[in-house]
């Protein structure tokens, strides 16, 4: 997934009652594990539901285990049966526990005879937390309805009954029935030439964790971008997206040269409608991406580099629990930087690294101590310890430190070996460290002490000797910003005509939290920032303009908030408005109009922000 910045990840707070295997899952994999999923789904756009049949192949670990326990959320179960080797079924007794606010409902299936497979027939809820149903008006082309999933972190259970834990991997086959004018895509190899006949089949032969189970259906056109890549998007978007992502094959080849073969076959991209709450989601074979990166100059395609990098870090080698999420996101963010440097140059890679570093330096002090650790102390993750961008930024900073200490060649060889050694496995932080010590730290003595490694992983804050790259362009921007704020350089005299997106982001990030109104008005007059189509620049501009008291920007800010459902680009503007009573009132009016086009996770975050602002 692309960096979350200040976003909490769904239900990542420790529940009171859960099984010791995974605090966010009822599953008991020490007794029985799901190894394969046969899934049949019917997409019902009018009713906003999936009619489903999930057949789970089981590996019984404990000969005395009396039952199979699965995770569900808001599913209506109509029947459960054992399936023998000949396909014959026999009904099984089951119990669906009362709904837990975070975990959903535990489904306990009595199966003392240990059947080879169990089949569950069910229907999803129209309000399923892992699905979003969009009417035509909320799509780009406004012609057909659209549906897509977002299973990370623990939302797969809202559309498939399963063991919803990253520690449990399974292969899957799927048969999906949809209206004949809709194309269906899933987190498995997709056929760009598939006819729109309403019948889609998928086969994922590599074992994946449940959060990587994904589906989308709607008015999708396809345009190939390489021998093993294509872009899927609504017809009016697909050409622009294909142009923006035309370097995909080059990125794949670059990563293969660094870290070994791409093992998933095809790598396709699905550009979703604007309500998608994240930048991207690394669903195997089919990355789901936000349209906000389509700015025309490839300045934001590092998002593709990030999601592609997950094909090695996260999808191939997976964090065994959400406590270990830095193994997915920190390693991926490091690899993303290497891809960006190789394809687009060191300047852009260093600028993106510095933006990440400065954001972390600014925000880390506001996090609870346990949330400042790459590997939080088990049992102390609670509602105040929400997941921010720290696993991304601090994790990748740790890996850059290793690269600097051991040299790029040695570190690349280590990382390639790491991906090979743990391929298609889910691992803990401690397993990663057990591999790191003999294969890098001890192999090259004197480069880095084990105490330093543990400081990075288990201590709060950032080590004082953490390396920071140089950026002459950012140094120049620092001088110009200081002169502009001091009044010795006019806004129209800024040397900004050649600034790329990252450089504008850096300039705006460095403005005072509450800048002078006159300064913001001068900037806007010189550079027409209000109404910018670049969402990264727009979010930063509106936050500062609102803080300065420039109500003339509110209308354009409202358009930005309504047009974009990506939380990272929308929530900060709501937050800025909510700091004053007039702004809060206006923000609530905007939200009332925009709410129906937001993903449930976006709705939840904005409403929580309003509740907190109301208490103030």
Written out in words, the top-level CATH class of the domain with range 32-309 is mainly beta
In a 10 Å sphere around its CB, with 0-12 CB exposed, 13-18 middle and 19+ buried, how is residue 226 labelled?
middle
Of residues 348, 314, 356, 316, the one with CA closest to residue 331: 314
pLDDT at 3: 64
CA distance 319 to 305: 20
Q: Taking 70 as the threshold, does the pLDDT of residue 606 lie above it?
A: yes
DSSP secondary structure letters along 117-176:
EEEEEEE--TT-TTEEEE-GGGSSS-SS-EEEE--TTTTGGGTS-B---TT-EEEEEEEE
Which tens digits make up the pLDDT trace of 526-546? 999 999 999 999 999 999 999
Q: Which CATH architecture has domain 472-615?
A: Alpha Horseshoe (1.25)
Written out in words, the top-level CATH class of the domain with range 321-458 is mainly alpha
Q: Taking 90 as the threshold, does the pLDDT of residue 377 lie above it?
A: no
CB 28 within 8 A of CB 69: yes
In the DSSP assignment, the letter for residue 261 is -
DSSP bridge partners of 32: 60
Rg (CA), the chain: 24
Residues of 16-43 as b/e, b for ≥16 C-beta within 10 angstroms? eebbebbbbbbbbbebbbbebbbbbbeb
User: How many other CB atoms are found less than 10 A from the CB of residue 180?
Assistant: 10
Q: Which residues contact 582 (CB under 8 A, 6 or more apart)?
A: none
Query: Which pair of structure tokens corresponds to residue 61?
Result: 């670990």
User: How many other CB atoms are found less than 10 A from the CB of residue 367?
Assistant: 19
Query: Which pairing describes strands 117-123 and 49-60: parallel, antiparallel, or unpaired?
Result: antiparallel
pLDDT at 215: 98
- For the chain, the average pLDDT equals 93
Cα angle value 205/208/210 (rounded, 5°): 130
pLDDT at 300: 86
Q: Taking 50 as the threshold, does the pLDDT of residue 385 lie above it?
A: no
Phi, psi of 172 (to 5 degrees): -155, 150
Helix (H) or strand (E) holding 550: none
DSSP bridge partners of 223: 231
Of residues 522, 512, 521, the one with CA closest to residue 490: 522
Give percent of the chain with pLDDT exceeding 90. 89
Query: Which pair of structure tokens corresponds to residue 371?
Result: 């949330």
pLDDT at 137: 87
Taking each helix axis from N to C end, the angle separating 554-563 and 581-594, rounded to the nearest 10 degrees, works out to 40
CA distance 212 to 209: 6
CB 179 within 8 A of CB 214: no
In the DSSP assignment, the letter for residue 67 is E
Q: How confident is the model at residue 379 (pLDDT cuts 50, 70, 90)?
A: low
Query: Which pair of structure tokens corresponds to residue 384?
Result: 């105040």
DSSP bridge partners of 67: 110
Which tens digits make up the pLDDT trace of 482-503? 999 999 999 999 999 999 999 9
Q: Taking 80 as the threshold, does the pLDDT of residue 166 lie above it?
A: yes
Q: Please report, for the chain, how many H helices and E strands are present, in that order.
A: 17, 21
pLDDT at 265: 96
CA distance 156 to 153: 8
CA distance 249 to 158: 34
Query: Which pair of structure tokens corresponds to residue 458?
Result: 């288990």
In the DSSP assignment, the letter for residue 324 is G
pLDDT at 600: 84
Query: Which pair of structure tokens corresponds to residue 329?
Result: 């996101």
Which tens digits make up the pLDDT trace of 9-64? 333 433 333 444 788 999 999 999 999 999 999 999 999 999 999 999 999 999 99
pLDDT at 380: 54
Determine whether 418 is an active site residue.
Answer: no
Q: Taking 80 as the threshold, does the pLDDT of residue 387 lie above it?
A: no
In the DSSP assignment, the letter for residue 438 is I
Of residues 370, 381, 388, 391, the one with CA closest to residue 324: 391
CA distance 29 to 20: 10
In a 10 Å sphere around its CB, with 0-12 CB exposed, 13-18 middle and 19+ buried, how is residue 91 labelled?
exposed
Of residues 318, 320, 336, the one with CA closest to residue 328: 318
CA distance 6 to 172: 34
In the DSSP assignment, the letter for residue 10 is T
Which tens digits make up the pLDDT trace of 325-344? 999 999 999 999 999 999 99
Which tens digits make up the pLDDT trace of 401-430? 999 999 999 999 999 999 999 999 999 999
Task: Tell me the three state secondary structure of residue 563.
Answer: helix
Which tens digits make up the pLDDT trace of 202-247? 999 999 999 999 999 999 999 999 999 999 999 999 999 999 999 9
Q: Taking 50 as the threshold, does the pLDDT of residue 384 lie above it?
A: no
Domain boundaries, the chain: 32-309, 321-458, 472-615
DSSP bridge partners of 132: 148
Among 94, 267, 344, 392, the one annotated catalytic: 392
Q: How confident is the model at residue 277 (pLDDT cuts 50, 70, 90)?
A: confident
Q: Which residues contact 562 (CB under 8 A, 6 or more apart)?
A: 590, 593, 594, 597
Phi, psi of 443 (to 5 degrees): -70, -30
Q: Taking 90 as the threshold, does the pLDDT of residue 469 lie above it?
A: yes
Of residues 567, 5, 9, the one with CA closest to residue 319: 9
Query: Which pair of structure tokens corresponds to residue 557?
Result: 């800010």
pLDDT at 1: 79
Task: Tell me the three state secondary structure of residue 480.
Answer: helix
Phi, psi of 258 (to 5 degrees): -80, -45
Phi/psi region, residue 217 (left: phi>0; alpha: psi -120 to 50; beta: rest), is beta
Determine whether 366 is an active site residue.
Answer: no
Q: How confident is the model at residue 513 (pLDDT cuts 50, 70, 90)?
A: very high
pLDDT at 111: 97
Please list the alpha-helical segments (H only) found in 320-449.
326-344, 346-363, 390-406, 408-421, 429-436
Among 31, 244, 307, 329, the one annotated catalytic: 307
Identify the residue whose tokens are 């620049």: 537
Which tens digits make up the pLDDT trace of 255-267? 999 999 999 999 9
Q: Which residues contact 428 (CB under 8 A, 6 or more apart)?
A: 319, 320, 321, 324
CA distance 73 to 573: 31
CB 507 within 8 A of CB 475: no
In a 10 Å sphere around its CB, with 0-12 CB exposed, 13-18 middle and 19+ buried, how is residue 588 labelled?
middle
CB 406 within 8 A of CB 373: no
pLDDT at 435: 98
């Amino acid at each position: 997934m692309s960096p979350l910045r200040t976003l909490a990840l769904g239900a990542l707070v420790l529940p009171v009652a859960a099984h010791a295997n995974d605090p966010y899952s009822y599953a008991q994999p020490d007794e029985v594990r799901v190894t394969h999923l046969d899934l049949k789904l019917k997409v019902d756009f009018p009713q906003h539901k999936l009619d489903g049949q999930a057949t789970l192949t089981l590996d019984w670990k404990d000969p005395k285990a009396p039952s199979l326990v699965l995770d569900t959320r808001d599913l209506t179960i109509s029947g459960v049966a054992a399936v023998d080797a000949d396909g014959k079924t026999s009904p099984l007794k089951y119990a669906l526990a009362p709904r837990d606010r975070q975990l959903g409902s535990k489904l306990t299936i009595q199966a003392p005879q240990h059947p080879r497979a169990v089949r569950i027939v069910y229907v999803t809820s129209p309000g399923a937390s892992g699905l979003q149903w969009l009417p035509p008006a909320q799509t780009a082309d406004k012609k057909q309805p659209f549906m897509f999933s977002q299973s990370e972190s623990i939302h797969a259970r809202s559309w498939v009954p399963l063991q919803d834990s990253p520690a449990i991997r399974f292969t899957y086959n799927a048969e999906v029935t949809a209206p004949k004018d809709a194309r269906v895509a899933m987190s498995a190899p997709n056929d760009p030439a598939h006819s729109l006949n309403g019948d889609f089949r998928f086969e994922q032969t590599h074992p994946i964790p449940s959060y990587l189970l994904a589906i989308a259906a709607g008015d999708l056109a396809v345009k190939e971008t390489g021998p093993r890549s294509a872009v899927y998007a609504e017809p009016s978007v697909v050409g622009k997206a294909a142009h923006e992502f035309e370097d995909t094959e080059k990125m794949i080849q670059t990563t293969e040269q660094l870290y070994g073969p791409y093992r998933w076959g095809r790598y396709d991209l699905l550009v979703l409608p604007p309500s998608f709450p994240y930048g991207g989601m690394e669903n195997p074979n089919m990355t789901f991406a936000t349209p906000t990166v389509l700015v025309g100059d490839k300045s934001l395609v590092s998002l593709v580099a990030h999601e592609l990098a997950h094909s090695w870090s996260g999808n191939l080698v997976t964090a065994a629990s959400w406590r270990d999420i830095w193994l997915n996101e920190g390693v991926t963010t490091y690899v993303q930087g290497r891809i960006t440097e190789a394809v687009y140059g060191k300047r852009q890679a260093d600028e993106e690294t510095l933006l990440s570093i400065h954001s972390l330096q600014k925000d880390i002090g506001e996090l609870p101590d346990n949330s400042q650790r790459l590997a939080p102390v088990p049992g102390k993750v609670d509602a105040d310890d929400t997941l921010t961008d720290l696993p991304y930024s601090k994790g990748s900073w740790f890996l850059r430190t290793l690269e600097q200490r051991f040299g790029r060649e040695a570190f690349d060889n280590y990382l390639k070996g790491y991906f090979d050694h743990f391929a298609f496995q889910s691992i803990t932080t401690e397993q990663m460290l057990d591999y790191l010590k003999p294969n890098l730290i001890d192999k090259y003595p004197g480069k880095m002490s084990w105490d330093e490694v543990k400081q990075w992983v288990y201590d709060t804050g950032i080590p004082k000797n953490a390396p920071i790259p140089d950026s002459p362009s950012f140094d120049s921007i620092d001088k110009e910003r200081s002169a502009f704020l001091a009044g010795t350089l006019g806004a129209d005299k800024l040397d900004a005509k050649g600034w790329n997106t990252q450089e504008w982001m850096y300039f705006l990030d460095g403005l005072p939290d509450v800048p002078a109104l006159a300064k913001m008005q001068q900037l806007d007059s010189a550079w027409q920032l209000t109404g910018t189509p670049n969402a990264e620049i727009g979010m930063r501009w509106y936050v500062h303009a609102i803080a300065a008291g420039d109500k003339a920007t509110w209308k354009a800010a409202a358009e930005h908030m309504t047009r974009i459902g990506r939380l990272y680009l929308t929530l900060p503007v709501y937050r800025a408005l909510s700091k004053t009573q007039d702004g809060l009132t206006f923000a609530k009016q905007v939200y009332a109009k925009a709410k129906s086009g937001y993903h449930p996770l976006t709705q939840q975050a904005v409403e929580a922000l309003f509740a907190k602002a109301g208490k103030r």
